Each structure stands twice: as structure tokens, then as C-alpha cells.
């Protein structure tokens, strides 16, 4: 647990002299994957994003004193849930943010509800967090599986990719992703011509890719994540999938994965994200600050990390308005009442079921010849407005909404 008391001191010195009438004390914990599969997607970069958000907010609101700690859940629900328990019980943390990995997020969400604290999910994908497993203490910020499935599925079908073959990781998350995307594809006039399930953490996709090639589907949907996606794309390059006219659709791919793959291998890959560093000047300026603070060369912020910045900002606004961080449900209600506005995601809202709404974008990975500078990896294919990007409120089966 890294205590950044320095920030509290900074906030105090920025307050021009004298004791202030009402000091609001807040403690935030960034719970992320610091050391393994998702450490580039969230990890230390999320901590940096949180620091920036706190610095920006306390500069304008000196009577809010914020402490930040961070921890590693190592992608294990049991470690995540223990950390959450301990942070809430012993370390008096008010809000936990990030947690890539849906299993961990679901566990932490339970713990948070039982202790009436707040949980802002930036890193995890499971749309169940605003569906059957929603609660009054959790907000799902950056993206979710429904958005990914619909964004990529629908947009691709509309741009000509109407026959699909699925390569699915054989576990709950993969199945869910495949199911949601297949539904989106078929709802928009496309056809699923075949699918194959592969074990999680498969090293070699050659036999599955052979099957995908044989299917002659225009799009090969990768209903998997992390190392599996990377391996599939790598093998695909070898087997000439893209050269043969088929395209890969990454259903859960981040900018950091694309950089890891390298443009020669990843070119032509289509994916959906809600934020990209190079989209506008505000993002670029923030990226420079993030990179300076992050200190590791060649890294660019992902949408998850941008989401942490945005989430912390909105949270602190709500806490300042209520003058207290103690009652989780009350703060969440305030966050849902107030529209959001920050330099990275612009204007948006938090819905009754805890879903944050903002536009999504269909990106395509550039060819090496099209990339002019490091980090120049995407070109925008389509923009999906906020109302369409996420699952309609009624379809979620969230007890808060129907009950």
C-alpha cells in the first residue's frame, strides 16, 4: 500500500493560508493487476491516472483532502476480495477503483455493497455488473462486454463483414462474449457460419485457425482476451489470414495489446474502445502528463486508465458536494444525479443501474506504413453515440431498476 501523503500535503499548501472551515477527508484505493496479464491495461498506469485526477481536483478544491493507496489483486478473486475487506475494515478506504478482471470486480462489488462503500469499475468487462449483479454501491465506468459485442459486431456487419466465425475461449467470459456478439451480428443481418472453442491460455492456434480459414467467413471473431488474443493474431499472421482476405475482430483488445503485437502483425484488426490517446488535443495533452508521471518509455494510456481519471474526478465532485465520503449509497446517488464532465470523456451521465454512458468508437489498426509516430496505431472507422453504445436500461435485469 503506497500512501501518497505527499498529495495531501500538496493540497494543503495550495490552500491559501489559514484553516478552512470544513475539511473533507477521502481515501481512495486503486485495486488493479500490477504484475501480470492486465498490468499494462490498468496497473501502475491507473495509479498515475488517479494521482493526476486528485491533483487536478484538489488544486481547485483545497478543502478536500485525498489520500491514495494502491494494491495488486493479481487477477485472483480471493486476493481481490481480501484486499477489499481489509482496505474497508482496517485501512478505512472509502472508494475502490479500477480492477481489471471481471471475477475480481464481481467479488469486490459484493464486499463493497455489504460495507456501504463505493466501487468504480474501470478495468473489468462483465456487463452483469450493471445487470443481474448490480447494486447501489457500484458504478461501471469505462466499457463492458455488451458494448464491445455490439460495437464491434454491429459496426462490422454494417460495413460489410456479414459472415462470422468465432474463436472462443472455453470459459464463462468467452462464452458470454461470443453469445452477445453473435446476437448483435444476427440482429443486424449477419450470419454466424461456425465457431470453435479453445481452452484458455492456448499457445498454439494453428489448428483452430485452419478451421476458421476453411469456413471462409469474412470476419473471425476473437471471443477471448489477453495472451489468447495475441497468440491467435500472431498465428493468424503466419497463416496468412489477413492476406487471404479474412479479417480479425478483436472483441476484447486494448491499445497495449496492439503495441505488444506490433503493427505488422496486428494491422487490419478491428476493435471497439471508448477512448484513444490521439483522438483530440485534450487527450494528447493529458497523455503527455501521464507519460511524464508514469516514467516508463514507450507506453501510452489505455481507455481503462483514462476511465480511472474520469471516475475519480466525478467521485470527488460528488463527495465535495455532499461534504462527506462516508455513506456509499448517498455518494453514488449523487454521482448518478450529476452529469459528468471531464477533459477526457467529455460530457456524459451515470445511469440508474450504475452504467456510465459515453460514446464508443470502432477502430482499425493501422498498417505500419500508415503509422507516423510511436503510438499512432488506430484509425477511426465509426463513432457509436452514447445512447446506442450500451445495453438499454430495460434489458439489463438490474434489480435496482426493475425492483
Partner 1 sequence: MERVVDPLAQKPSARRTHSETIAFVVMVAALIAAPFFTYPLFLMQAMCFALFACAFNLLIGYVGLLSFGHALYFGWASYLSAYAAKVWGFTPELAILTGTATAAVCGLVAGSLAIRRQGIYFAMVTLALAQMMFFFALQAKFTGGEDGIQAVPRGYLFGVIDLRNEMAMYIVVLIVFLAGFLFIYRIIHSPFGEVLKAIRENETRAISLGYKTDRYKLVAFVLSATLAGAAGATKAIVLQLASLTDVNWPMSGEVVLMTLVGGLGSIFGPVVGSFVILVMQYKLAAVGEWVLVIQGVIFVACVLLFRRGVIGELANKLRIRL
Partner 2 sequence: MFEILGIPLTALFGQLLIGLINGSFYALLSLGLAVIFGMLNIINFSHGAQYMLGAFAAYLLLQYSGLGYWPALIVAPVLVGITGMIVERLFLQWLYKLDHLYGLLLTFGLALIVEGVARNFFGSAGLPYTVPESLQGGRNLGFMFLPNYRAWVIVASLTICIGTWFVIERTRLGAYLRAATENPTLVRAFGINVSRMITLTYGFGVALAAFAGVMAAPVYNVSPQMGSELIIVVFAVVVIGGMGSILGAIITGFGLGVIEGLTKVFVPEASNTVIFVIMAIVLLVRPAGLFGRRG
- Give residues 191-210 in contact with partner 1 (rule: CB under 8 A): 199-200
Which does residue 86 bind out of partner 2, partner 1, none, counting CB within 5 to 8 angstroms by kind? partner 1
Give which of 165, 225, 170, 175 is closest to 195, Cα–Cα. 165
CA distance 77 to 33: 11
Decide if residue 85 touches partner 1 (CB under 8 A). Answer: yes
Decide if residue 177 touches partner 2 (CB under 8 A). Answer: no
Which does residue 49 bind out of partner 2, partner 1, none, counting CB within 5 to 8 angstroms by kind? none
Between 64 and 225, CB nearer to partner 2: 225
CA distance 219 to 359: 24
On the CB side of 170, how many CA atoms lie within 13 Å of its CA? 9
Query: Which residue in 13, 201, 383, 402 binds partner 2 (CB under 8 A)?
Result: 201
Decide if residue 83 touches partner 1 (CB under 8 A). Answer: yes
Which does residue 110 bind out of partner 2, partner 1, none, counting CB within 5 to 8 angstroms by kind? partner 1
* Region of 81-89, 156-164, 181-189, 386-394 interacting with partner 1 (CB under 8 A): 81-89
Decide if residue 2 touches partner 1 (CB under 8 A). Answer: yes
- Note whether 213 and 239 are within 8 A (CB): yes
Query: SS3 sequence, 275-329?
Result: CCCCCCHHHHHHHHHHHHHHCCCCCCCCHHHHHHHHHHHHHHHHHHHHCCCCCHH
Which does residue 2 bind out of partner 1, partner 2, none, counting CB within 5 to 8 angstroms by kind? partner 1
Query: Which residue in 54, 104, 261, 319 binds partner 2 (CB under 8 A)?
Result: 261
Between 54 and 176, CB nearer to partner 2: 176
Other CB atoms within a 10 A radius of the CB of residue 56 amount to 18
The runs of H, that is alpha helices, within 61-171 are 77-89, 102-115, 145-158
Between 6 and 374, CB nearer to partner 1: 6
Count of residues interacting with partner 1 (CB under 8 A): 30
- Note whether 315 and 331 are within 8 A (CB): yes
95 DSSP 8-state letter: E
- Note whether 172 and 144 are within 8 A (CB): no
Decide if residue 40 touches partner 2 (CB under 8 A). Answer: yes
From residue 88 to residue 127, the character string flagging contacts with partner 1 as x (rule: CB under 8 A) and all else as - is -xx----------xxx--xx--x-----------------
User: What does the angle CA 88 – CA 37 – CA 289 come to, to the nearest 5 degrees?
Assistant: 75
Query: Which residue in 20, 23, 25, 36 binds partner 2 (CB under 8 A)?
Result: 36
Query: Which residue in 5, 14, 260, 285 binds partner 2 (CB under 8 A)?
Result: 260
Other CB atoms within a 10 A radius of the CB of residue 365 amount to 24
CA distance 117 to 99: 15
Decide if residue 60 touches partner 1 (CB under 8 A). Answer: no
Cell of 140: 461501471
- List residues binding partner 1 (CB under 8 A): 1-2, 34-35, 71-72, 74, 76-79, 81-83, 85-86, 89-90, 101-103, 106-107, 110, 170-173, 199-200
Amino acid at each position: 500500500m503506497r500512501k501518497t501523503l505527499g498529495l495531501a500535503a500538496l493540497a494543503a499548501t495550495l490552500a491559501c493560508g489559514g484553516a478552512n472551515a470544513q475539511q473533507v477527508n477521502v481515501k481512495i484505493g486503486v485495486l488493479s493487476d500490477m504484475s501480470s496479464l492486465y498490468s499494462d491495461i490498468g496497473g501502475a498506469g491507473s495509479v498515475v491516472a488517479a494521482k493526476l485526477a486528485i491533483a487536478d481536483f484538489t488544486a481547485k478544491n483545497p478543502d478536500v483532502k485525498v489520500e491514495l493507496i494502491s494494491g495488486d489483486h493479481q487477477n485472483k478473486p480471493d486476493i481481490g476480495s481480501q484486499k477489499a475487506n481489509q482496505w474497508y475494515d482496517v485501512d478505512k478506504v472509502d472508494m475502490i477503483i479500477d480492477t481489471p478482471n471481471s471475477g475480481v470486480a464481481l467479488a469486490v462489488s459484493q464486499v463493497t455493497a455489504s460495507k456501504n462503500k463505493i466501487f468504480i469499475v474501470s478495468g473489468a468487462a462483465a456487463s452483469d455488473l450493471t445487470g443481474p449483479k448490480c447494486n447501489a454501491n457500484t458504478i461501471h465506468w469505462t466499457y463492458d462486454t455488451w458494448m464491445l459485442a455490439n460495437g464491434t459486431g454491429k459496426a462490422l456487419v454494417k460495413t460489410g463483414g456479414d459472415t462470422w466465425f468465432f474463436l472462443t475461449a472455453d470459459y464463462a467470459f468467452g462464452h458470454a462474449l461470443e453469445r452477445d456478439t453473435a446476437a448483435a451480428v444476427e440482429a443486424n443481418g449477419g450470419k454466424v457460419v461456425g465457431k470453435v472453442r479453445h481452452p484458455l491460455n492456448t499457445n498454439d492456434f494453428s489448428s483452430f485457425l485452419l478451421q476458421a480459414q476453411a469456413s471462409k467467413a469474412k470476419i473471425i471473431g476473437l471471443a477471448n482476451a489477453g495472451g489468447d488474443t495475441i497468440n491467435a493474431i500472431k498465428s493468424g499472421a503466419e497463416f496468412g489470414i489477413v492476406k487471404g482476405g479474412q479479417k480479425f475482430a478483436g472483441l476484447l483488445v486494448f491499445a497495449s495489446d496492439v503495441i505488444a503485437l506490433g503493427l505488422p502483425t496486428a494491422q487490419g484488426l478491428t476493435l471497439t474502445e471508448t477512448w484513444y490517446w490521439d483522438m483530440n488535443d485534450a487527450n494528447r495533452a493529458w497523455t503527455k502528463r501521464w507519460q511524464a508521471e508514469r516514467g516508463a518509455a514507450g507506453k501510452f494510456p489505455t481507455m481503462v486508465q483514462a476511465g480511472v481519471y474520469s471516475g475519480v474526478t466525478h467521485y470527488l465532485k460528488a463527495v465535495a458536494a455532499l461534504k462527506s465520503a462516508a455513506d456509499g449509497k448517498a455518494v453514488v446517488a449523487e454521482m448518478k444525479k450529476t452529469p459528468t464532465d471531464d477533459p477526457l470523456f467529455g460530457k456524459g451521465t451515470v445511469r440508474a443501474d450504475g452504467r456510465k454512458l459515453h460514446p464508443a468508437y470502432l477502430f482499425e489498426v493501422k498498417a505500419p506504413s500508415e503509422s507516423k509516430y510511436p503510438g499512432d496505431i488506430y484509425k477511426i472507422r465509426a463513432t457509436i453515440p452514447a445512447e446506442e453504445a450500451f445495453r438499454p436500461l430495460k434489458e439489463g435485469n438490474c434489480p435496482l431498476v426493475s425492483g
